[in-house]
Structure 1
Amino acid sequence: MVRIGIVTVSDRAHAGIYKDLGGPAIKDVLQEILTVPWTASMQLVPDEQQVIAQTLCRLADQEACALIVTTGGTGPALRDVTPEATVAACTKLLPGFGEMMRSVSLQQVPTAILSRQTAGIRGSSLIVNLPGKPAAIRDCLLAVFPAIPYCIDLIGGPRLETDPAIVKTFRPKAS
């Protein structure tokens, strides 16, 4: 069974001021995309860089999540520190993920240039930062997911398969 970490970064949702919509939105999109058995490790953390980084490391190192997807904390506000926490947790960065997500988001809103999503690798885990809005989560996840299964193959993770009617996974012919 493939393990996937889903991390919502939000002071207010963590404090119970409002309901977490981002984490469930990610889970819904993944249920639509993936055709392999998988289980989610849902996490809700405050906008604290050290807490976020520790959560990402635990999901990668102890829970062996092949994919860890975050939502929230990627903007320019003072408390938005998810990209910094991701960089601290990763051994390699994959800036193309952020570039693709910003490109897709710019087709919807001009403020997408303020987004700082990134992605990286820790061991055999791929960590991807998504925006906080559920509609943007779906658009961004669908935009980058064609490359995610092959990336996980390359870092020694489990083979992910997708519903080709929703996302066509790209793998070179020799894979």
Structure 2
Amino acid sequence: MRVYIITLSDKGYTNEREDVSGKVICEMVTEKGYTIVNYIILPDERDLIANTLKEICDKNEADLILTTGGTGLSKRDVTPQATKDVVEYEVPGIAEAMRYNSLQITKRAMLSRSIAGVRNTTLIINLPGSPKAVKENLEFIIDELSHGIDILKGSASECARK
């Protein structure tokens, strides 16, 4: 599986803050055998984020895009809006599962606006910005992602558990 990692952070983009969350994602997906095709940091700019997501999907550069950051309540947190601008349909179960799992750890998980959706044959998932939350959320969903992507790509046809 080809993975594109995007960190959304004004401070990360200007090198005012080290991007630990993106590195956590890189380590976790590599351990699972995924191939990282690119890893970038962008500022919290809705149009830039949306255009980048659209370009990656439309050029079929990745099977999975994992974003980190921009899912909170501040005015600059626009990742979910940018993602909604480009997805053809949402996959609400992924975000619901992440929030449910996170609520077992902290009630602040209810403040996350992460979404997941599909454009063409690419799955896009918004992860939180905190390294701890990224690790907890990705650990919870990562083992099921390959099956979902196989279904999306048409290389698997059965969803029933064996």
Unaligned runs of 5+ in 1: 160-169
How far apart are 1:57 and its partner, in Å? 1.2
CA RMSD of superposed structures (Å) = 2.0
Aligned position for 2:61: 64
- In structure 2, what is the Cα distance between the partners aligned to 1:76 and 1:39? 29
Cα distance change on mapping 1:3 and 1:130 into 2, 3 Å? same
Work out the CA distance in 2 between the residues paired with 1:137 and 1:173.
Answer: 27
Matched, 1:90 2:90: no
Residues 8 and 72 in structure 1, CA contact (< 8 A), matched pair in contact too = yes
Which residue is 1:19 aligned to? Answer: 18
Match of 1:146 in 2: 143
Residues 105-124 of structure 1 deviation map (CA, whole Å, 9 limit, x = unaligned): 11221111000111000111
Aligned to 1:172: 160
Structure 2 residue matching 1:68: 3-state secondary structure:
strand
Q: Is the 8 A contact 1:5 1:67 kept in 2?
A: yes
Partner residue, 2:110 = 113
Distance 1:77 1:158, change over 3 A: farther
TM-score w.r.t. length of structure 1? 0.85
- Following superposition, the deviation at residue 54 of structure 1 comes to 1.0
Distance, in Å, in 2 between the alignment partners of 1:25 and 1:62 is 26
Per the TM alignment, residue 158 of structure 1 is displaced from its structure 2 partner at its CA by: 6.9
Aligned structure 1 segments of 4 or more residues deviating by more than 6 angstroms: none
Q: Which has the larger share of helix?
A: 2
Instruction: Identify unmatched segments of 5+ residues in structure 2.
Output: none
Check the 8 A contact 1:106/1:113 in 2, yes or no.
yes
* TM, length-normalised to structure 2: 0.91
Shift of 1:146: 2.9
